[in-house]
């Protein structure tokens, strides 16, 4: 009897605490959408207006409301809003007792990965063009605002009623920050050569490479470079694009402590992988996937490409919204995450202006839970979320050999047939 009474009190207390949290926060939890290393995402409904939102709660705790405001993701979303192709932050909730932070964002229907997963036939060219135009618009806006994303991939590109929005700004960085940057950034399959072959000497052009990989994936329904590890990632890029000339490799070598050499190889080319690809689309794709980031197209120039001619004619009168970039601080804040005590909630419009930076992969904000594998990939080793392995990690394998020349380590990468 005594045990039963205590159990009843405990259950009642838990229910009471849960109700208090929901009421104070002002949102009712509907269901869990997804979970990542650094956060959990749930679908919520506002008790005030009945609208549905995505609530992203950080797992890492912080000490103050000021720190919550200084999260790179919060700062980036505040700086980039409003924009038609950027996920909007509706409200920030800070729990003083537990030190947690929750981001209340607009809820989308699904991400691009979910959209193409399991499809048997390619998407119409007009659909691909419509989504890619919006993706380039989001990147052009980000870059003009002094921020680059660093983790553009299908899971972070969200859609709702044919509107595409870029989300998850947890890894973003200021374009004014000086390299070297964090080396292990971006999801491997979408990582640019400069991210793979240098010690963090990359720039906003890495976003264009990633978008090019997404472009191919939307058209073909398959990933372009599904590397099983960092070494295999480089090999798969060379299989398609070929080995770059020695002058470009030398430029990469100057930005990496460990030297490397690749055997000359002529790539198969992208056109063989998507033989029915329209010529303008193929032209843009090659420009987005230029091996040398200095030769890679910008988002602004991509929007003027002939592939988007119809969109450009339709929007010829639309002014390009320019932000006063020098007004922004040179770097984004260093704090990266947060989690929910008494909760302090305030709309984004009241948040003080700040700067940004943040690391980590956060789940996409959609109303559907993302699957863990690509539909057309048969080998588990190719999974997009496989743990990171650096080039140096393979020095003990027969796949490559490391020699020392006058005190300098030289890594020869040879892919056996």
Q: Closest Cα partner for 59 from 50, 71, 45, 49?
A: 71
Judging by beta carbons within 10 Å of its beta carbon (0-12, 13-18, 19+), is residue 245 exposed, middle or buried? exposed
* Cis bond upstream, residue 390 (ω within 30): no
Cα distances from 264 to residues 194, 243, 392, 403, 417, in angstroms, run 19, 6, 21, 19, 14
Where in 170-237 does DSSP place strands (E)? 173-174
Q: Closest Cα partner for 272 from 240, 317, 308?
A: 240
Separation of alpha carbons 150 and 32, rounded Å: 26
Q: Closest Cα partner for 123 from 32, 21, 221, 16?
A: 221
The answer to whether the beta carbons of residues 81 and 89 sit under 8 Å apart is yes
How would you write 306-318 as a 3-class SS string? HHHHHHHHHCCCC
The upper half-sphere exposure of residue 73, i.e. CA atoms within 13 Å in the direction of its Cβ, equals: 32
Q: Closest Cα partner for 132 from 322, 301, 281?
A: 281
By annotation, the residues acting in catalysis are 151
Secondary structure (3-state) at 409? strand
Judging by beta carbons within 10 Å of its beta carbon (0-12, 13-18, 19+), is residue 151 exposed, middle or buried? buried
Q: Closest Cα partner for 63 from 393, 337, 285?
A: 337
**Residues near 390 by Cβ (< 8 Å), separated by ≥ 6?**
183, 184, 230
* Cis bond upstream, residue 81 (ω within 30): no
Beta carbons within 10 angstroms of residue 263's beta carbon: 10
Q: Is 369 annotated as a binding residue?
A: no
Q: Annotated binding site for ATP, which residues?
A: 56
Q: Annotated binding site, which residues?
A: 56
């Amino acid at each position: 009897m005594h045990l039963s009474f205590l159990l009843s009190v405990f259950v009642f207390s838990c229910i009471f605490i849960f109700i208090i949290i929901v009421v104070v926060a002002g949102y009712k939890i509907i269901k869990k959408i997804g979970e990542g290393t650094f956060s959990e995402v749930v679908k919520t409904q506002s008790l005030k207006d009945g609208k549905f939102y995505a609530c992203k709660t950080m797992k890492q705790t912080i000490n103050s409301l000021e720190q919550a405001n200084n999260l790179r993701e919060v700062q980036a979303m505040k700086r980039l809003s409003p924009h038609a192709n950027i996920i909007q932050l509706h409200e920030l909730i800070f729990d003083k007792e537990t030190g947690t932070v929750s981001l209340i964002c607009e809820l989308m229907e699904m991400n691009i990965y979910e959209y193409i997963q399991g499809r048997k036939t390619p998407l119409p060219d007009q659909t691909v063009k419509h989504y890619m135009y919006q993706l380039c618009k989001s990147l052009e806006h980000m870059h003009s605002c002094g921020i680059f994303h660093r983790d553009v991939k299908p899971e972070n590109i969200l859609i709702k009623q044919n509107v595409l929005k870029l989300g998850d700004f947890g890894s973003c960085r200021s374009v004014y920050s000086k390299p070297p940057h964090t080396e292990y950034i971006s999801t491997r399959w979408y990582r640019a050569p400069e991210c793979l072959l240098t010690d963090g000497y990359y720039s906003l052009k890495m976003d264009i490479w990633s978008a090019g990989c997404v472009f191919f994936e939307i058209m073909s329904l398959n990933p372009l470079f599904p590397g099983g590890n960092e070494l295999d990632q480089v090999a798969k890029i060379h299989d398609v694009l070929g080995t770059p000339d020695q002058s470009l490799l030398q430029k990469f070598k100057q930005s990496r402590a460990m030297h490397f050499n690749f055997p000359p190889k002529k790539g198969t080319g992208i056109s063989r992988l998507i033989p029915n690809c329209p010529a303008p689309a193929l032209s843009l794709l090659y420009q987005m996937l230029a091996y040398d980031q200095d030769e890679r197209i910008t988002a602004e120039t991509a929007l003027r490409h002939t592939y988007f001619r119809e969109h450009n004619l339709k929007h010829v009168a639309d002014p390009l919204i320019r932000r006063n970039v020098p007004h922004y601080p040179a770097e984004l804040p260093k704090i990266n995450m947060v989690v929910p005590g008494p909760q302090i909630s305030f709309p984004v419009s009241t948040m003080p202006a700040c700067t940004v930076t943040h690391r980590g992969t956060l789940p996409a904000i959609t109303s559907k839970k993302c699957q863990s594998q690509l539909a057309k990939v048969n080998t588990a080793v190719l999974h997009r979320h496989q743990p990171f392995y650096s080039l140096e990690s393979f020095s003990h394998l027969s796949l490559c050999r490391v020699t020392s020349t006058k005190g300098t380590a030289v890594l020869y990468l040879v892919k056996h047939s």
